[in-house]
Every structure is written in structure tokens, then in C-alpha cells.
């Protein structure tokens, strides 16, 4: 297989150049670990989330949706253990004032360097003076109430999962669901992360896609296995190359005390293998904790058998931004067409921000009128763009760079016989399709099975 052309710098540059993702607050000098999504970034991340919803909801009949509040009762975080235990052990350097995660220092993590002497690791430079590790809570605090001094402290949620557990009873009562069933949520989470390298991989404000699957206790091991397989497969179905994806089971010493199994889906990012998603068998820890702290019974009563139990939970927890970054990294390619270099995103058509671009070959002779007519017909059913600026080759390149799978060109022949050229991004094949069949033709090709052309 050809060497990957992708680097993190190239992705960051492409994202900025083409309006996917910008460093936040740029005009004020920027804000670390915060990013703003531009037009194509909104469309791409939107497609990632839609594909997650499709796999969780539309293609199943045992998962329901929730959208819980970001600021919840502070007791939620007491019960979940986040208030006491959602911490990273941190080490400060008294000389340069930089902060490091103690676990990163221990494992000599990739990219770690002394800010004063980058060829050395922190602690190994001549002036380094590191403190012992101290626990630092990652939750972001805010104050609720009109007067800051008397208001009460609240937290921005550090994960979407707890919003699901506290709605377990609502789902049981309002939707008549019965284990095994899941509740899924997509939304923003906030963490006061210390190490914030690698673009949107680690941000302080990010989007999660989490699902809690409630099962009879005896069925937990088998559901854990099936959710690991399903989540691993989801990334591959959307085009991630199998040799860039792995499932890593946590060692016993990595597991939280309540978990009887956790596995990470990892992707081979430009900076190395890193977590994309965690799948955990959480036992009945969360429901039991919330029942204790709230005084509510959080259990399931099975009428036919007369059995009463606290369901066990399997949790696939993914990040929308991280998934998007993995899809971008996997799709990024550089090749040559007729001696000219091209940058292309070989994205799965379902993920591509724009599905089709329509070009008039000339800005005269009736080409723009027909092209506009086709554009209007297409955009009702798929994300489409119209472009009449510059040479046709340039317009193709622009679409390749944002991953548009199809370009449609109107030329002289189109006005004579009603056919247009459909050019495909990966194979570069061009075929003539009658204008009356264009919408159906493209819809069928977009829905067809797809395999990364990088696999050869
Ligand atoms: P990490 O070990 O990388 O800090 P985590 O194990 O703490 O991640 P979880 O709490 O399991 O992460 O969150 C589930 C998913 O949410 C992660 O797999 C990741 O995709 C995403 N995620 C977590 N933290 C961040 C972040 N700071 N920025 C972007 N995505 C994140």
C-alpha cells in the first residue's frame, strides 16, 4: 500500500483553507483547545452525527433518543463520582510554569517535550524543576443565580452519559421500553483538559455521541461483545481502512472499579494510535448510585415473571469531533492528474459535505441556464453546489479538496442531446447521463456500497 500522504499539519491547513475548522477567537489571538466549525465542517460533522443516529436509531428498534440539559443538578456529579474522582494527576514545572499530565510523563507520551528545551522530555532539561503530582478536577464550574456570591455552583457536563441515567425512569414510564434497550444522546461536553495538542482530537468543548444500553444482568457479557463488534464495524462501514483501526481491550489495572470490561476503538492518527471511542460494561454502578443519591427506585420490574432488577449497562461512548478527524485523516490523499498535483478527500459519499457540484462549461451559450436548472433540481434531494468560476480543471480541484464525490458539467452537447457529464472523484471516470435521469442516477450511486480507493 502506498505511503500515507497525510500529516496533522496538512489536515489543519486544509481545514482552515477550505473553511472546515478554524482556531477559535482568532482575531483576538486565539484560544487554545477551542475550535470553530466553518461551513464544510458543519456539514461533515453533521453527516458523522447523522450516520451515528442512523446506526443507533433508524436501523434498530431497541434504542430511543434523549437530549438532556448541559447544566444539571450538582448532585448528579456527586452521584456519578465526577466531583470526587474526575481528576487528572498533574505535575507543574516551577521554572517554566508548564503543566503536564503525570500519566503522560510516566508513559513518555508522543509529542511530550520540555518547553524550554524541546529536544528533552519535561523533567530532563537542565532547568526543569517538577512538583509532585496533584489531582486536578476536569469539570468546568459556573455559578447559577443572579448574584455571583450567593449563587450556587454548577458544572458544565463533562459527559453526556449521566443525562441518560437520570432519565432512565422517564424513558421506562413514557415509552414503555423494556430491557434490553438503549437511550442515545449526542451533544456538547466540557472538560478542562490540560494537554490540548492535536487539533480537534482534544478540546475543552466537544461533542459526544453516547448510548447507554440497559440489559438484564445475565445478558451483559454477550451485549458487551456485540456492541464492541458493532461499533468497530461502524467505522469500517464508513470507509476507515481496516489496518488503521483496532480494538484494544483494557488491562485489569486500567479498568474503573465498577467496570468488568472496557475496550477502546483506536485509530492510527498521524500522531499514532489513539482512542476514538470507548465501549464499557459498566455493571449497575450508575443506576445504583443515582438511586442512592436521589432516593428514587431506578430498577425494572418485569410483570410476566415478577422479577425486579437493576439493569446492567453497556456504554459505547464516541466523540463526534474525533470521529470526524479520523474520517478526514483516512480520506486525505495527494495524487497527480496530467502532471498536476491534486489534494483530494476520498470520503465515503455519505460523509462528504457536498454530494454534487454543477458546472456550466462556459458562462454563455445557454450553459449557465441549463446548469442552474439542474442545480435547482438536485439541491432539493442532496447537498449541491453551483460553480462557474475559473477553468473547469480548477473547479474540479476545488471540489476534490472538499471531498465532493460527483461533478456534473453542462457543455455544448448538453444543449443538443440533453446529456451532461458526470465525473467521479476517485476513479476520475466521466460518463454522459441524460438530464432527466440525473437525480435518480446520482442518488443510486450515492447509496451504492463504497470502499476506500486507498485500499487499491
Ligand atoms: P481520553 O483518554 O482521550 O481523555 P476518555 O477516555 O477520557 O478520553 P471518554 O470519557 O471515554 O474519553 O469519552 C468518550 C469519547 O469522547 C472519547 O473516546 C473521545 O472520542 C471523546 N472525547 C473525550 N474527551 C474529549 C476531548 N477533550 N476532546 C474531544 N473529544 C473527546
Measure the CA–CA gap between 298 and 172, rounded to whole angstroms.
10
Secondary structure class of 202 (helix, strand, coil): coil
Asked if residue 91 is part of any domain, the answer here is no
- Is 421 found in the same domain as 277? no
Is the CB of residue 51 less than 8 Å from the CB of residue 145?
Answer: no
What per-residue confidence (pLDDT) applies to 430? Answer: 97
- Give the long-range contacts of residues 110-117, CB within 8 A, separation 24 or more: 110/271, 110/272, 111/197, 111/198, 111/271
Q: Which of 259, 294, 328 is the last residue of a domain?
A: 328
Examine the domain organization and report whether 255 and 315 are in the same domain: yes
For residue 27, pLDDT beyond 70? yes
The total number of structural domains that make up the chain:
2
219 alpha carbon – ligand 1 mean position (Å): 27
Give the percent of the chain with pLDDT over 70.
Answer: 98
Which residues line the pocket of ligand 1, CB cutoff 6 A?
Answer: 159, 191, 193, 202-203, 206, 208, 275-278, 317-319, 321-322
Q: Which residues of 306-341 are buried (b: 16+ CB within 10 A; e: fewer)?
A: eeeebbbbbbbbbbbbbbbbbbbbbbbbebeeeeee
> What is the CA(224)–ligand 1 centre distance, in A?
19
Question: If you measure from the C-alpha of residue 341 to the centroid of ligand 1, how many angstroms do you get, rounded to a whole number?
Answer: 36
Distance CA 52, CA 185 (A): 10
Q: Are residues 165 and 201 located together in one domain of the fold?
A: yes
In a domain, 123, yes or no: no
Q: Which of 79-88, 177-186, 430-439 has the lowest mean pLDDT?
A: 79-88
Where residue 148 falls among pLDDT bands split at 50, 70, 90? low
**Mean pLDDT computed over 23-49:** 96
Tell whether the torsion through CA atoms of 171, 175, 176 and 178 is positive or negative.
negative
Task: From 328, 345, 364, give the residue that closes a domain.
Answer: 328
Which range of residues forms the domain containing residue 421?
354-455
Q: Judge if 182 and 66 occupy the same domain.
A: yes
Ligand 1 center from residue 319 Cα (angstroms):
6
Position 139 in a domain:
no
437 and 359 part of one domain = yes
**Confidence band of 151 (pLDDT split at 50, 70, 90):** low
Residue 301 lies in a domain: yes
**What is the position in ligand 1's atom list of the atom closest to the CA of 317?**
14
* Domain co-membership, 179 together with 301: yes
Q: CB atoms < 10 A from the CB of 282, how many?
A: 23
282 contacts 271 by C-beta, under 8 angstroms: no
- CATH number reported for the structural domain that contains residue 371 in this entry: 3.40.50.800
Same domain, 51 and 189: yes
pTM summary value: 0.92
Indicate the range of 81-95, 177-191, 294-308 predicted with least confidence: 81-95
Which has the closest alpha carbon to 213: 302, 287, 312? 312
The pLDDT value recorded for residue 103 is 84
Do 377 and 324 reside in the same domain of the chain? no
Which CATH number goes with the domain that contains 235? 3.30.930.10
Q: Judge whether residue 3 has pLDDT over 80.
A: no
Q: Averaged over 152-176, what is the pLDDT?
A: 96
Residues 192 and 274 in one domain: yes
Question: Residue of the nearest CA to atom 10 in ligand 1?
Answer: 159
343, part of any domain: no
Each residue's pLDDT tens digit, 282-315: 999 999 999 999 999 999 999 999 999 999 999 9
* Mean pLDDT comparison of 119-128, 145-154, 334-343, 420-429, highest-scoring range: 420-429
Q: Does 94 fall in a domain?
A: no
Q: pLDDT-based confidence at 90, cuts 50/70/90?
A: confident
Q: Is residue 333 in some structural domain?
A: no
Q: Ligand 1 atom closest to Cα of 158?
A: 10
Element housing 319 (H / E): strand 312-319
Residues 226 and 370 in one domain: no
Q: Quick check: 195 pLDDT over 80?
A: no
Q: In the predicted model, what is the mean pLDDT of residues 115-143?
A: 90
Q: What are 431's three cell numbers?
A: 460518463
Q: Whose CA is nearest to atom 4 of ligand 1?
A: 202
Whether 1 has a pLDDT exceeding 50, the answer reads no
pLDDT of residue 147: 66
265 CA from centroid of ligand 1 (Å): 11
Q: Are residues 219 and 160 in the same domain?
A: yes
Mean pLDDT on 178-185 = 98
Would you state the cell numbers that stand for residue 102, as one nine-digit string?
A: 503525570
Can you give the length of the chain in residues?
A: 456
Own/partner pairs, 439-442, CB within 8 angstroms, 24+ separation:
439/377, 439/378, 439/381, 442/355, 442/356, 442/378, 442/382, 442/406, 442/408
Position 137 in a domain: no
Residues 166 and 303 in one domain: yes
Amino acid at each position: 500500500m502506498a505511503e500515507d500522504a497525510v500529516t496533522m499539519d496538512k489536515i489543519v491547513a486544509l481545514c482552515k483553507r477550505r473553511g472546515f475548522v478554524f482556531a477559535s477567537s482568532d482575531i483576538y489571538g486565539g484560544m487554545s483547545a477551542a475550535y470553530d466549525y466553518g461551513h464544510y465542517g458543519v456539514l461533515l460533522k453533521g453527516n458523522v452525527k447523522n450516520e451515528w443516529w442512523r446506526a443507533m436509531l433508524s436501523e434498530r428498534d431497541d434504542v430511543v433518543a434523549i437530549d438532556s440539559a448541559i447544566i444539571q443538578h450538582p448532585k448528579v456529579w456527586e452521584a456519578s463520582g465526577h466531583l470526587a474522582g474526575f481528576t487528572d494527576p498533574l505535575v507543574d514545572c516551577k521554572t517554566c510554569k508548564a503543566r503536564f499530565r503525570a500519566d503522560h510523563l510516566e508513559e513518555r507520551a508522543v509529542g511530550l517535550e520540555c518547553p524550554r528545551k524541546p529536544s528533552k522530555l519535561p523533567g530532563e532539561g537542565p532547568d526543569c524543576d517538577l512538583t509532585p503530582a496533584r489531582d486536578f478536577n476536569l469539570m468546568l464550574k459556573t455559578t447559577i443565580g443572579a448574584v455571583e456570591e450567593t449563587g450556587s455552583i454548577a458544572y458544565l457536563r463533562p459527559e453526556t452519559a449521566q443525562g441518560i441515567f437520570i432519565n432512565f425512569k422517564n424513558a421506562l414510564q413514557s415509552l414503555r421500553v423494556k430491557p434490553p434497550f438503549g437511550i442515545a444522546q449526542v451533544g456538547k461536553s466540557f472538560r478542562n483538559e490540560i494537554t490540548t495538542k492535536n487539533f480537534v482530537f482534544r478540546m475543552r468543548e466537544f461533542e459526544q455521541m453516547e448510548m447507554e444500553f440497559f440489559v438484564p444482568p445475565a445478558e451483559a457479557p454477550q451485549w458487551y461483545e456485540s456492541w464492541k463488534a458493532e461499533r468497530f464495524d461502524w467505522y469500517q462501514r464508513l470507509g476507515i481502512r481496516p489496518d488503521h483501526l483496532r480494538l484494544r481491550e483494557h488491562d485489569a489495572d486500567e479498568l474503573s472499579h465498577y467496570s468488568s470490561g472496557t475496550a477502546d476503538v483506536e485509530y492510527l492518527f498521524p500522531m499514532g494510535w489513539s482512542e476514538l471511542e470507548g465501549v464499557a460494561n459498566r455493571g449497575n454502578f450508575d443506576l445504583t448510585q443515582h438511586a442512592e443519591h436521589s432516593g428514587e427506585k431506578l430498577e425494572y420490574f418485569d410483570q410476566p415473571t415478577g422479577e425486579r432488577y437493576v439493569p446492567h449497562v453497556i456504554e459505547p461512548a464516541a466523540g463526534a469531533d474525533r470521529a470526524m478527524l479520523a474520517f478526514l485523516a483516512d480520506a486525505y490523499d495527494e495524487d497527480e492528474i496530467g502532471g498536476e498535483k491534486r489534494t483530494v478527500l476520498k470520503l465515503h459519499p455519505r460523509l462528504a459535505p457536498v454530494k454534487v457540484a454543477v458546472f456550466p462549461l462556459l458562462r454563455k451559450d445557454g450553459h449557465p441556464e441549463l446548469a442552474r436548472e439542474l442545480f435547482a433540481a438536485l439541491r432539493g434531494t442532496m447537498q449541491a453546489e453551483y460553480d462557474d468560476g475559473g477553468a473547469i480543471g480548477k473547479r474540479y480541484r476545488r471540489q476534490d479538496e472538499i471531498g465532493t464525490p460527483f461533478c456534473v458539467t453542462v457543455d455544448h452537447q448538453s444543449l443538443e442531446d440533453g446529456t451532461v457529464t458526470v465525473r467521479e472523484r476517485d476513479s476520475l471516470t466521466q460518463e454522459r447521463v441524460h438530464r432527466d435521469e440525473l437525480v435518480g442516477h446520482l442518488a443510486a450511486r450515492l447509496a451504492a456500497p463504497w470502499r476506500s480507493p486507498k485500499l487499491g
